[in-house]
Structure 1
């Protein structure tokens, strides 16, 4: 059964006057204060995303952990932000990166479906859904299921090409100053192999730009 908030979002949007639907949405960009906050969490990978799963920003360790997604060739241009849904459905490297690709794909679809319920007139979201539907049979079938959901916390196992498996829990934080942007912080158990691998990645990320 779909969560009531999904239906409420659709109903509220349908009742909204046409003029308000055409009102430009505020730009999605990180303030210097938010970037400073993420950078201060140097031992924790942090990624900032919007409801379309665009990567709006990250700290150094976040970029190191998710470099394969952030640098994915699925980006249509240098002006287009990296997008996790495009990476999951269109980049073969996603099958190597996610230990459970099916779960990652289902999560992406649920988040995009929820976002479509709250912002159905978002042209960039419509374009993303259209591209994924055209290029991915898996996405097309999963989108037709009308599954929705929000994922504020949980766990992931990722395979990083340089340091190996990373077993991470995550927590998401909504920004009062930019409600459309969410910070995802990824945490490792202290003294675990994952914590040691994150320390290695952090040392590489903070080092001068040279081959490591």
Structure 2
């Protein structure tokens, strides 16, 4: 279907074809009916000379993005970096993801939160679906930064700690967050359905700005308003402590 020999395809599949042409990769992508995310993943894996440099430097949110996050008051917003590290959040996101800021700096990572924090399994109504997307996002990042030691350590830690992660990592699926919606069950305000929009800031291609959206006049909007009001009125109490009392 791709118009290449079996021997050529096997060499490509096993990573032994360093000089593969763009036309061959395009033909393979069409034959496999890859979507845009999977196609980009294929090209990153098959063209090592075009890979980005190693991502070893510590990422930081630039001041303008920090101000933008803090100016977003009515919906949760957060900034993700390499390996889904959480670089910054606004007040409502800190209330939504219970006591996330209480974690040590090197543990503020969405993959660690999803797989290692019991609260995440209760927060996401479809936890398996969200967790698989997280694994797919890490795989997509790995194709562009294959020699990142922090990624290797993160994958190792999650593989040792969670059998679901081990199983899904072995599937090699990729995923790129763009937009969509998810259902949640928050311990303070109950059930919500929130949309999300993901943006890449200009000049920071390995960062993702995530904004949650809510249908005007919906029960979910009322729940978010309640959470925002509670956060403003009880700034001296962590959401996690409040959730314990709520139970």
TM-score, with structure 1 as normaliser: 0.87
- Structure-2 residue corresponding to 1:197: 223
Instruction: Report the alpha carbon displacement of residue 129 of structure 1 after superposing the two structures with TM.
Output: 0.5
> 1:23-62: per-residue Cα shift (whole Å, max 9, x none)?
x644311112111111111112101112411111111111
Output one character per residue of 1:97-151: Cα deviation in whole Å (capped at 9) or x when no partner.
1100110111011100000011111111111011111111111111111111212
Residue matched to 1:38: 69
* Higher normalized helix content (fraction of residues): 2
Q: Normalising to structure 2: TM-score of the pair? A: 0.75
* Cα root mean square deviation, aligned: 2.2
Contact 1:153 1:171 in 2 (8 A): yes
Which residue, 63, 67, 79 being the options, matches 1:48? Answer: 79
Query: Do the aligned partners of residues 90 and 27 (structure 1) sit closer, same or farther apart at CA in structure 2, a change above 3 Å counting?
Result: closer
The alpha-carbon deviation at position 206 of structure 1 amounts to 3.2
Whichever of the two has the greater Rg, that structure is: 2
Structure 1 CA distance for aligned equivalents of residues 232 and 131 of structure 2: 31
- Quote how far apart the aligned CAs of 1:81 are: 4.1
Give structure 2 stretches of 5+ with no counterpart. 1-31, 243-247
Task: Tell me how many residue pairs correspond in the alignment.
Answer: 203
Q: Does the Cα contact within 8 Å between 2:94 and 2:101 map onto a contact in 1?
A: no
**From 49, 54, 58, the counterpart of 1:27:** 58
Unaligned 5+ residue runs, structure 1? none
